[in-house]
Amino acid sequence: MRWSYRHTLLALCTLAFFVTMAARLAISPVVLNIVEAFDTSNATVGLALSGMWLAYAFSQFPSGVLGDRFGERRIILAAIGLTGLGSASLALSPSLPAFVLFAVFLGAGAGLHFSVAATLLTKNFENTGTALGVHNVGAPLAGLLAPIAAAGVGVRLGWRYAIALGVVVALPVFVTFAWRVRPTDPERPDQPMGERFELGPLVELLSRRQIAFTVGVSVLCAFVWQGTASFLPSFLVAHHGISQTMAAGLFSAFFVVNGFTQPILGRLADRLSRDRVLVFCVLVGVVGYTLLVLGSGSVALVVATVLVGTAMSWPAATLPRFMDNLSDSERGAGFGLVRTIYMVLASAGSVGVGAGADLFGWGATFGLLAGLLAVVSIVVTVNAMLGYGA
């Protein structure tokens, strides 16, 4: 296959996504150092990180509106630049209140990227599942590399230098993106932005059967992802009694598998159907989470991790499903809106899994995640078989 401009665009959008994820994930390995530096509690730093992720979710919709008004290239550059600025501000935080404020700023800036990049790639690729699947590799790649790098830098140089890695990765990607990506024409350059936030059109979009159905499915799947990303290492240590080192290795393997399978499943979603690939993912997840709970021994845990990593590639099917049901003029703001809705609702996954582990134990809680994926498989299959058109 001959390399073309659109492949350059895809590669640079993927790198931009990597930047926005790596900057946020670099914080987690040095949380204890931050707690000590500011003489505060884990809960307070956790509140700052929750604010960062919520700001990321809330940025999805306005980013789409901004992309329609000013063009996607400008907004993606703004996302990369603000991510670097947010990382620098966090690294230089003089006090705990400033750290909390800059964490929220980092989340809001990073959140400008995804919806706009997905819209831009959809314009340039007919096989949207394949393109979005490749683009999504930026997140698991960041999940694999950023925590390891931040932990190493944090041990040698301190937590501020670890967080500053966000600047290190943002700067070259910003320069390359500005150099190699052509200017993009805005979809709605003259429409007042206030009109895009009027309640009526937003309610109409969300009430469409196909959109509402995909949002509901995405909430359940993203709830499972959020809980897994937050607590998989803790589950492995507490439920199976393995070492933290082995748990960290399996957690890294989860991200590797997730990154490897997303473009493959995205391509299958283009060739077969979105729903078939989605059902495949969640059924693999049912098996994987069940094996995580009931299995024993290193082989069983490795197999379960591979299955769970594959299952959490479900966005390769749901994201193009959204795009299929949005017109060209709706994709910027419309896709941002649905991303904000399902990500905000699914953010309860971390709280839900943590509380479930405290109340019912790790086994029962991760078993519930398998149950949620089973529900998704049933409703998607029934919708397809009975022709509800959702």
Give 145-202 as a DSSP string.
HHHHHHHHHHHHH-HHHHHTHHHHHHHHHHHHHHHHSPP---SSSSS-GGGGG-HHHH
Q: Identify the residue with better confidence: 359 or 288.
A: 288
Q: What is the CATH number of the domain that holds 207?
A: 1.20.1250.20
> What pLDDT is stored for residue 1 in this prediction?
59
**Best-predicted range by mean pLDDT (94-108, 199-213, 223-237):** 94-108
Do 47 and 188 belong to one domain? yes
Band of the pLDDT at 3, cuts 50, 70, 90? confident
Instruction: Supply the pLDDT for residue 382.
Output: 92
Does 229 lie in the same domain as 187?
A: no
The band of 389, judged by pLDDT with boundaries at 50, 70 and 90, is low
- What is the pLDDT of the chain when averaged over all its residues? 88
CA-to-CA dists, residue 206 to 6, 118, 340, 344, 379, angstroms: 31, 19, 12, 15, 19
Per-residue pLDDT of 29-71, as tens digits, reads 787 788 889 988 766 777 787 788 889 988 988 888 888 889 9
Confidence grade of residue 278 (pLDDT, cut at 50, 70, 90): very high
Encoded tokens for 309: 């990593």
Q: What CA–CA distances, in Å, run from 176 to 80, 137, 154, 182?
A: 11, 19, 28, 11
Residue 67 is predicted with a pLDDT of 87
The arithmetic mean of pLDDT across residues 282-308, rounded, is 95
**pLDDT, position 196:** 63
Same domain for 300 and 278: yes
Task: Report residue 388: phi and psi, to 5°.
Answer: -70, -20
pLDDT at 182: 92
Residue-number span of the structural domain to which 205 is assigned: 198-390
Query: In this model, does residue 329 exceed pLDDT 80?
Result: no
pLDDT higher than 80, residue 193? no
Q: Are residues 35 and 112 in the same domain?
A: yes
Residues 214 and 341 in one domain: yes
pLDDT, position 390: 63
CA dihedral 135, 302, 374, 264 (to 10 degrees): 30
Residue pLDDT, tens place only, 70-124: 999 999 999 999 999 999 999 999 999 999 999 999 999 999 998 899 889 988 8
Identify the weakest region by mean pLDDT among 241-245, 357-361, 364-368, 378-382: 241-245
Do 34 and 156 fall within a single domain?
Answer: yes
Asked if residue 257 and residue 154 are part of one domain, the reply reads no
Which of 133, 162, 197 lies at the terminal end of a domain, its last residue? 197
Q: Closest by alpha carbon to 62, among 170, 175, 169, 193?
A: 193
Tell me, yes or no, whether 193 and 203 share the same domain. Answer: no
Q: Examine the fold and report which residue of 197, 229, 246 is the final residue of a domain before the chain moves on.
A: 197
Model confidence band, residue 28 (pLDDT cutoffs 50, 70, 90)? confident
Q: What is the pLDDT of residue 197?
A: 66
pLDDT at 126: 83
Same domain for 174 and 48?
yes
pLDDT at 289: 97
Give yes or no: residues 9 and 150 share one domain: yes
Question: Is residue 247 domain-shared with residue 101, that is, in the same domain?
Answer: no
Q: Are residues 163 and 209 in the same domain?
A: no
Q: What is the pLDDT of residue 139?
A: 86
